Chains A and B, each alone.
Chain A
Amino acid sequence: MKMSEQKSGSQNVLRLMVCEMAHLSRPDGSATTFQGDTCVMTSVYGPTEVRMAKEQIDRTTVEVVYKPKSGLPSCAEKSLENIICNTCENILLGNAHPRSAINITVQEVQDSGSFTACCINCCCLALLDAGIGMKCTMAAVNCCIDNEENIIVDPTRKEEEQSQAVLTFAFDSKDKNIITVITKGKYSQQQFQKCLVLCRDASDSVFKFYRETMEKKLSKT
């Protein structure tokens, strides 16, 4: 839990990851993911009926709703919804269930840094729990560049606030290609490359975590 406090300087760790699946009785798939103190809860319904206006004749419509913990959703929240939606559409088998919808609801529980990455990872776990057809899984890792040009992987919120740039990468499990990049702040091309390689490395352990989680879930059948 308190791993975030132990890490300092060059010692870079992905914080403790905890996840709980299928803990909600109503949705088809649900997951809660903790990365350190950061916590996100996601539910998936699907494939379900789709509203006429959003129906796509040849593919599944992915609808993402993001719920902030306090206050009403604003532009930043809508943008996050969009990012998550586009990222998920990339890995889902879109043509398996045409004229239907997959509804993903993401609830913020605690934002203590690396929040976007946690949202994406939680969505992937909820989709796995729902058993929706996917081309591959996805893992997101966040990193930031602090003012001394050090790269911190999976930073806490405090570290994020004090950094000059924050970068989030989402990778697919097949070739570790980038699905999504979200960056904020100023960085050089070299720094970007360095962050990319670091995050790609770190994503291995997230993928491993997914596999362990599913193995554990299916161990009793």
Chain B
Amino acid sequence: MADHVGDASKIVYMPGDFVENVKVSEKTSKAILGPGLKQDGDTVMVTKPGLLRHKEPNIYWIDCHSRRYVPVRGESVIGIVCAKAGDVFRVDIGGSEQASLSYLSFESATKRNRPDVKVGDIVYAKLLVANKDMEPELVCIDSTGRSSGMGVIGRNGGFLYKCSLNLIRKILSTNCPLLSRLGKQIPFETTVGMNGLIYVRARTTVQTITIINAIAASEYMDNDQIISMCKKLADTFTMVQ
């Protein structure tokens, strides 16, 4: 397989390919392999199709397009509460198993003071436990006991949109202009879960639908196209109003 140095970002790796010339850290002489890569003896093997990404000095991963979420520890996700089971809520986060969310892991929740969560609510939460052999566990507080934005969302309108995982990573990346540009034209609030769910709420129904459609359309656009789309969107919106 071709060398990754140079214009590596456009080379598509297929499962079974090998990545050569993997740079290692000078201190520890180790390389960090992310999703889609696996050590196979002395070589690094690709297990998922996609583009190889590299972060200096020694982090490598494969940017793979998929739609099914596999829980990863520490990621923030949006889940739908499916059931109350004793002390925990069962939350669907799109993975192979439902995650559990204890009623005590909400801000200022105590045994007496139970949080107000109903079946069908959506929650923004962080994965505390996620590994292949265990049931994923969510929390709505950080280590200091604060909610820091997590908890039940979507009680005052707004819409939940499901999209592919690569689109989520794209709009959350720092160089993606989509959300900031859109926000200049139409004020809206949004919550993005790494599991492929986006919650959007704008002032009116029409605006919310507009934002959702703009996000959906941006999946196969580059940054220039996104900017021009946002411009056009702004023009039509000022025209209508």
Contact = CB atoms under 8 A, between A and B. Distances in A.
A133 B132 CA distance: 14
A135 interface: yes
Interface in B1-18: 10, 12, 14-16
B16 A28 contact: no
Interface in B50-68: 50-51, 63-68
A163 interface: no
B51 A135 contact: no
A137 B15 contact: yes
Given A47-B68, A174-B16, A214-B12, A135 B97 contact: no
A29 interface: yes
A212 to B, nearest CB: 9
Contacts of B12: 211, 214-215, 218
Most buried by B among A29, A129, A218: A218
Interface string A38-57: 00000001111110000000
B16 A93 contact: no
B158 interface: no
A100 B96 contact: yes
Nearest to A50: B96
A49 B97 contact: yes
A209 to B, nearest CB: 11
Given A46-B68, A217-B65, A221-B220, A133 B48 contact: yes
Interface residues of A, number: 38
Interface in A88-141: 91, 93, 96-101, 128-137
A180 interface: no
A215 to B, nearest CB: 5
A63 interface: no
Given A29-B67, A131-B66, A221-B170, A172 B132 contact: no
Contact of A134 (B47, B68, B220): B47
A23 to B, nearest CB: 13
Nearest to A60: B96
Interface of B: 10, 12, 14-16, 36, 38, 45, 47-51, 63-68, 70, 95-97, 132-133, 166, 170, 220-222
10 contacts: A29-B67, A46-B68, A93-B47, A100-B96, A128-B14, A128-B49, A130-B66, A135-B16, A135-B47, A215-B12
Given A131-B66, A131-B67, A134-B47, 16 more contacts: A47-B96, A93-B47, A96-B132, A100-B97, A131-B48, A131-B64, A131-B68, A136-B15, A172-B16, A173-B16, A174-B16, A210-B14, A211-B14, A218-B50, A218-B51, A221-B170
